[in-house]
Structures are given as C-alpha cells and as structure tokens.
C-alpha cells in the first residue's frame, strides 16, 4: 500500500507504531523522495501538523481492536480530510454504514454519519491475508463532510455524548435511557414536539432527529 501511494508522487506520510516495521519501510524513501515514515502511534499523531495546510486522504489497514478510537481521532481532523479508505472488520464496517431501524445501527453509525458519508465498498476474504485472520474484513470509504450541522468541535463532542446516552441500553426507550439526566416528562414533550413516538428508541432516530432532540432538550 505504501509503495502504491508513494508512486503517485504526492506527499505520503506512513504512520507505523511497530518500530521494526517502520525501519523496514525506510528503504522505500530511497526510491520515493515524497515519502516520509512516521514511527509512532496514530492516536497520538497530529494529522493537521503532518498535512501542513494540505487536504488529506487517509488509507489504512486498521488494527481491528482499536478501530473506533482511530476513527474518533480522525474525526477530530474532519475539516481537512476529503476521504478515508480503510480495511476493517466486516462487523464494524456494517455498523458504520447502518441506517436507522437496522439491526447494526448504533452510536458508531451516528458518529460516522455526523462527520462523513460512509460506503461499504466490498468484503475481503480471509485468505487475502497472511496469516488469515479469525474474522472477515471489508473495505469502507468515508467521504467528508457528513451531515451539514451548525456545530463547532466542542458542540459535536457534547452531542455525541448525548447520543451515547441515548444508546446506553439499546432495547430501552429514549425516555428510560435519558431519565438519569433529563426528567421523563421533558423528554416526552420533546418527542411529541418533534412528532416522534413516545416510546421511540435510539435505533429509530436519524442524525437529524438526534440533533433536533439534543437542541430541544438543551434549550
């Protein structure tokens, strides 16, 4: 992947936490002057600093056990990212692209759509990897921006905490999931004003629905 990207001639920064792998990639810099190997943790990497004012495309085979933290880190730099192309576990890929009322729809689906427009590109067979993983994989593309909402970064973070509360127990109603922070009657009135069912569950709401409910309960 690194050599294919470097061959395009555009600046490429390959972030690799495994120091031995990073050292192994160094030989590519002899062939590609536009390639920089960054030996470090992507979760601690300042993407904007690497970009130096340029727009960014992100490509990667993500470690499956930290896919969500990496995505949330990338979302911090959503204003400078055009596209993200990542290989991840199929189960997580289905959650990213899930629509309201779908069985896989949840907090991560809402967070992804808040920042991007996700697409499930294709599945990748286990045999494509050496050694083969225990789970199936998929390529997902995220195109930025996502929902065009009037929220700054701090407001989006607060909004996502609200969404997380709404999904805290997926099979419970919004009234029950929010009762520890918002009085039941207030949530019921807000749902009624938005023409949403009084027994609505988080899995039934779109990003726009969540936004409207968040703003009404915060006013």
Residue 152 lies in a domain: no
Which whole number is the average pLDDT over 138-160? 92
Label the pairing between strands 137-143 and 81-89. Answer: antiparallel
pLDDT exceeds 70 at position 211: yes
| Count of domains forming the chain | 3
pLDDT for position 25: 92
Q: What does the DSSP assignment read for 182-196?
A: S-HHHHHHHHHHTT-
pLDDT in tens, 118-134: 999 999 999 998 888 88
Average pLDDT over residues 19-30: 93
Query: Does the pLDDT value for residue 21 go beyond 80?
Result: yes
pLDDT for 166-206, tens place per residue? 999 988 999 999 999 999 999 999 999 999 999 999 999 99
What is the CATH classification number for the domain harbouring 129?
Answer: 3.40.50.150
CATH number at residue 214: 1.10.8.100
Task: Retrieve residue 146's tokens.
Answer: 């996502």
Give domain status of residue 150, yes or no. no
pLDDT surpasses 60 at 219:
no
Query: What is the pLDDT at residue 158?
Result: 93
Strand partners, 87: 61, 139
- CA nearest neighbour of 214 among 153, 166, 173: 166
Whether 19 is covered by a domain: the verdict is yes
Among the residue ranges 110-119, 144-153, 160-169, the one predicted with the least confidence is 144-153
Q: What pLDDT is attached to residue 75?
A: 96
Long-range contacts of 121-130 (CB under 8 A, 24+ apart): 121/85, 123/90, 124/87
Q: Give the containing element (helix H, strand E) for 16.
A: strand 12-16
pLDDT tens track for 51-102: 999 999 999 999 889 999 999 999 999 999 999 999 999 999 999 999 999 9
Range of the domain at 173: 167-218
Shared-domain flag, residues 26 and 57: no
The residue among 147, 159, 142 whose CA lies nearest residue 70 is 142
């Amino acid at each position: 992947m690194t050599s294919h990207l470097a061959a395009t001639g555009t600046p490429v920064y390959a972030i690799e936490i495994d120091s031995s792998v990073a050292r192994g990639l160094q030989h590519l810099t002899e062939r590609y002057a536009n390639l920089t190997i960054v030996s470090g943790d992507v979760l601690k990497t300042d993407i904007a600093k690497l970009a130096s004012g340029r727009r960014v495309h992100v490509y990667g085979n993500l470690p499956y056990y930290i896919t969500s933290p990496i995505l949330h880190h990338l979302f911090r730099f959503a204003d400078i990212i055009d596209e993200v192309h990542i290989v991840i576990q199929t189960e997580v890929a289905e959650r990213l692209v899930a629509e309201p009322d779908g069985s896989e729809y949840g907090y991560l689906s809402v967070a992804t759509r808040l920042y991007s427009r996700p697409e499930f590109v294709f599945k990748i067979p286990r045999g494509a990897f050496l050694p083969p993983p225990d789970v199936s994989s998929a390529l997902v593309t995220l195109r930025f921006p996502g929902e065009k909402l009037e929220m700054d970064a701090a407001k989006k973070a607060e909004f996502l905490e609200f969404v997380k509360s709404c999904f805290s127990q997926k099979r419970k109603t919004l009234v029950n999931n929010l009762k520890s922070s918002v009085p039941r009657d207030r949530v019921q009135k807000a749902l009624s004003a938005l023409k949403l069912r009084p027994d609505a569950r988080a899995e039934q709401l779109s990003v726009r629905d969540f936004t409207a409910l968040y703003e009404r309960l915060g006013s």
